[in-house]
Amino acid sequence: MTDTCCATTIDIAALQARQRRVLMIVLATNLATFVMMLSAAIYSGSSSLLSGGLDNLGDALTYLLSLAVIGASDRAKARVALFKGALILGAALAVAIQIGWRLLHPGVPIFEAIGIAALLNLVANAACLRLLLPYRKGDVNMASAWECSRNDVFEGIAVLAAAAGVGIFGAGWPDLLIASALLLMFIRSAWRVFRMAWCSYTNGDK
């Protein structure tokens, strides 16, 4: 009986150590891609790149919070997940403001800069998603982190499409169209995280 308890304790500790390592890697990756995407967005004048950059910053904060509650109670993890949902909504609000600004001040972004930045971001986010894949069905803490990373991959593909659209049509509307699609994705993702977190909070231990 004692051996079984010790083995269980060791397994849990090993799992938590693996989770910490994964979260530290994806945290550093998202901080780096945020700086890269923000710089490229300012240079190119792209709303979709700015959307992606803000998403990466929000994800970095999400992973930092996830690190803080590894090993905590289900309710503590659920409270952090609720805050993650609020961060996603905050990113959606920032994107909506940027879209409104671009509608009032139209222009054609530099599609080459969008494409290069989006490709680098997609590669980085795909690597993060692969690292988080084993935890997608785990507790609400790691599952919500995986949700954020999956959004990043979709976002990377979408921003690449925006770069292609701007290059083909020589206009700014493809960039705004993709930014609007990302806005809807953020809202949907926030709802999923809120719902998952609330279920965990009401059913979890204190």
Instruction: Kindly tell me if the per-residue pLDDT of 5 is higher than 50.
Output: no
Query: Residue 170: which domain range?
Result: 2-203
Instruction: Kindly tell me if the per-residue pLDDT of 166 is higher than 70.
Output: yes
The stretch 11-36 carries a mean pLDDT of: 85
DSSP at 134:
G
Burial class (CB in 10 A: 0-12, 13-18, 19+), 14: exposed
Residue that wins the pLDDT comparison between 118 and 186 = 118
Task: Give the whole-angstrom CA distance, residue 23 versus residue 45.
Answer: 31
**Res. 204 pLDDT band, cuts 50 70 90:** low
Instruction: Kindly tell me if the per-residue pLDDT of 6 is higher than 50.
Output: no
Rg (CA), the chain: 19
Q: What is the pLDDT of residues 115-143, one digit of tens each?
A: 999 999 999 999 999 998 888 776 676 77
Q: What is the pLDDT of residues 27-45, one digit of tens each?
A: 999 999 999 999 999 998 8
pTM of the model: 0.75
The structural domain count of the chain equals: 1
CATH of the domain at 90: 1.20.1510.10
Backbone angles phi, psi at 105, to 5 degrees: -130, 75
CA diameter of the chain? 70
